Amino acid sequence: MRHQTIPLGFDTPGSSTVLDAFIFGSDNSNGPAAYLQAGLHANEVPGVLVLQYLMKALTAAENNGELTGKVTVVPAANPIGLRQFIQGQHHGRFDLGSGENFNRRFVAFSDEVCRRLRSEEKENSRDFARVVKNSIQQVLGEAKPATQLAALRIALTRLASDADTILDLHCDREACLHLYANEHQLDDAQLLASHVGADVVLYAPEQGGASFDDSIVTQWLDIYRRFQRPLETAPVFAATIELRGRTDIDRQIASHDAARLLAYLTARGVVKGTPAIPATRPSCVAPLSGVEVLQSPAAGLLLYHQEIGANIAPGDLVAEIIHPVSGEVHELRSNIEGCFFARDHERYVSAGHNVSFVSGVVPLDKGQLLTA
């Protein structure tokens, strides 16, 4: 295992910020490569603990000669957000300086990669995938960030740029285990879901906002589309895994999740052997555009009438908003059939607050798919 430290620069006097990556296996290996990160939203920490356990397992696999390729792990992908404490509360979803979501507006590289491939007459290369990866690394290596946030986004994308499998570990507020993937990679997504035990798979052609995994996949597909290559031959699979809720963190859960990730890496051929944990099929595979988000019509106390994972029918009472003075009650009822896979953890909310998320199989008339 090698420990790579990447300075992010733009530090204020007397401070420094670095990104830590751990590389298992050899850079010169011809085997498959995987990249995993956690904590991009720094206040979502279950995945951080999971990767601590996974790194122990990868260390053992490396020592036993069981790695066929390379695995890069970034257990704390957002050192900027890790230090954002305000009056005792940790805020790690948005950059305090710019107000930007840490998991949006990732690096655009496809235009420059396509330009270089054409100018260097490499679009007909026999090993097109390797040529694209090398070009992406060059483009990112030459990028000149204007802020520390931009430097972080470039560094994370570059670390992942030579991987065949890219997994970004997050969590929701309160949720069952679910994942987000590109609709062109549904077979890969369901394989991942079956090994990590995800209940729900949500897919879209593009999620919106240029989140980390979605940005990488959509740009690879864009490159393959421009050069008239079959999209299914694009060699990079990337997905977001939502590891339940923010408080679902303990050693037993994390150890089990790490074992499932190792089983998945084994199924992908990154680790030798047979997956140690049986695969299970997700109960719901649905378009991201089919998710109904119920919003609070007024400020008030939030009471839920459904538990996470419940099957919801149209008309079912999901939650109530109760005025703290008058006692007036607003009912939130589902308009669709689906799985109640996520909900907010606050119990006093403002008007317009996103309260609950139900995954339906019928697309809804929605604009931006990902919430802020």
Supply the pLDDT for residue 367.
54
Supply the pLDDT for residue 362.
94
pTM over 0.85, yes/no: yes
Q: What is the pLDDT along the chain (372 residues), one digit of tens a residue?
A: 999 999 999 988 888 999 999 999 988 788 999 999 999 999 999 999 999 999 999 999 999 999 999 999 999 999 999 999 999 999 999 999 999 999 999 999 999 999 999 999 888 888 999 999 999 999 999 999 999 999 999 999 999 999 999 999 999 999 999 999 999 999 999 999 999 999 999 999 999 899 999 999 999 999 999 999 999 999 999 999 999 999 999 999 999 999 999 999 999 999 999 998 888 999 899 999 999 999 999 999 999 999 999 999 999 999 999 999 999 999 999 999 999 999 999 999 999 999 999 999 999 976 556 776
Supply the pLDDT for residue 28.
79
The class of domain 287-359 in CATH terms is: mainly beta
What are the domain boundaries of the chain?
2-273, 287-359
SS (H, E, C) the chain: CEEEEEECCCCCCCCCCEEEEEEECCCCCCCCEEEEEECCCCCCCHHHHHHHHHHHHHHHHHHCCCECCEEEEECCCCHHHHCCEECCEECCCECCCCCCECCCCCCCCHHHHHHHHHHCCCCCCCCHHHHHHHHHHHHHHHCCCCCHHHHHHHHHHHHHCCCCEEEEEEEECEECCEEEEEHHHHHHHHHHHHHHCCCEEEEECCCCCCCHHHHHHHHHHHHHHHCCCCHHHCCCEEEEEEEEECCCCCHHHHHHHHHHHHHHHHHCCCECCCCCCCCCCCCEEEEHHHEEEEECCCCEEEEECCCCCCEECCCCEEEEEECCCCCCEEEEECCCCEEEEEECCCCEECCCCEEEEEECCCCCCCCCCCCC
Q: Please tell me the CATH code under which domain 2-273 is placed.
A: 3.40.630.10
